[in-house]
Structure 1
């Protein structure tokens, strides 16, 4: 009696298939680590493949629900995208894959349910398998590049409009647009860009604080690039702008900086290098651009370290100082700009002037001829001023 030949695979075939599956899985993990979302332990595998189009494509979402003639025209949404939400592929690898059987597609699901004809896509993927060859890499590329859109009649070519039917286009459109925007931001964060591009952009935008080494240690120390390092990376024009921005920033940060009072100059003037806050020379400034020497308090031509400023001009500084609260940042800035001792002297002088004026107004009478203040201490109401004019104290 003839015996029936067994169709079960032998042990050598199973061992070879297992080896090929493991090799294919390792290749996928090395090329697409973010696409493989499970381990090949029980012969099943999960893939999450985003659709990355070559360029921006126009996408039209039409409504596949029955249209009521009494209402307005059917709902249609138009947008431009370069990526589409990922396809979630859940598959099982038979023991004889890839030599004798194709992968078994357990399910295919599109994020946000944007893709129709899932069953048709499943058949397209299965037909791609050829006995003896692994097909998972080809599947991922087929889905990632959007090549499946044309066989599913969603597009007529790589440059044509993508048309998708959906039951509610107004709800699907913002989901697709939001994913595309998020995907572009993530792609930008993953890419590496030359320092020349990044530094040039920072210099153009005026953000010189970010022109520095991106090494984590340097970032922690907030170390900025020096002029030699910048000159090696960017153009001469950008170096000049970087230098100007650095100087401008440093000047704005220094509360001691005073601008030249000459209207046609207005250059920033730094305090003397060896400034002595106890000396009257602390008020001295000389413009490096027009060489004009002036007083930091009254902004007038330099009148020497001993001669006081005209009270009308220094009074403004004193009033600003007194208007600020004690131990406030505003007072600290004024003290740094003019010197704390100088400010204290100005305040004392101002308070003395105010007290003297109050006493003169209260206790004396001004002579109508010479304006000299006359105080009555005793005697009648008649007084003699310097010009020997007779004046009545009461009138």
Structure 2
């Protein structure tokens, strides 16, 4: 580039010195013979006039090219220099589908299988900084530099040489757009870069991976960290560009079926289903208010994709997100086998449980409690059990295997469980063979006799057939009244028994 600029200026100096003929406007070859010039002063005037016209034409061409770039590319891709005759172009290289980023070898030894692979759609841009000389494009090319985070020095040098070649092919005309198209469309092919691509840190292409005893570990760690930062930067840039592309396109909401810009929509990352933020906001708010924080999944039927906490925070108000965050944390803690909550109603602080100990101490209120029954810590004594819990314990014990039965016996005591089983058997027998007194509820078994019964506890008279109360003065009137449902049933049970015996 600089050599071309020096050659052009040298030609002008030699022309001024009379060693070369001066250019003349309209001459096909751009030169005139010395004998055609009238005198040295006329030669100088003709040269100055021609140079002025060439300079004016170059300035117009430069300005047109800069205006064209500004109209084609947005501010993130093209920035004009403050001087006006230069700028910066950030070129995004076209990648094939399923382009894979690779990190392998010794520097990835702490990664799984010494290998890391990730599909990306964008790589950080190749930055082209340029400045126009006064005689561009008529004589000299733009002065330029190339830089990139994922290309090493030798690759950048090869690209620069090819840009010089493109200038030689298009010499005399604007060249920036051709440079940009080459960098965008042909960089991977020209540098023989294919998927999976493993970027090399600047300067690393010449390094021997050999570490001595002194300082070797530090050098290896520094190389690893630099490579990790580069991979992280590439992945972050890819994510940002994908979001930018999504926001700039129109999408159809699968709930209200309206077309909206991506900036007004939400994309579920796993399934790629799209809904407008207004619909998803209403859906999230209903679920959170109902406490269904694990149900913030994609509204598409049977789709398992779940919204990220960041997506939820973006849509719902701060108070509702605080409830979502609290319930999500609580549900996560509930799944931990060694996590219990302080049983005091006003505390409920999570408490870590020691594996071989049943005592928990709340870090907030210092309450010491049994992690099994949630009552005050009682040492090695069996847990006390309520009447309601006793019913559950009986059912749990009868359905348990031998290991679980031993655990329940150790926790509550074998005698307590045996008593609970006996009470259950007694209750079942009473339910089958007795009826409760309609006055006091005492279980009564009828062995023989008539259907007029007298409770041994409260001395109330009642009918065994309909369990209705009977008059103490005239208890048999209930069985003699034709309007009574138990008319002539005083000895019905006794007669049935006699018939069965016969």
Which structure has the highest strand share of the two? 1
Q: Which has the higher contact order (CA 8 A, sep 6+)?
A: 1
Higher CA-based Rg: 2
TM-score, normalising length: structure 1 = 0.44
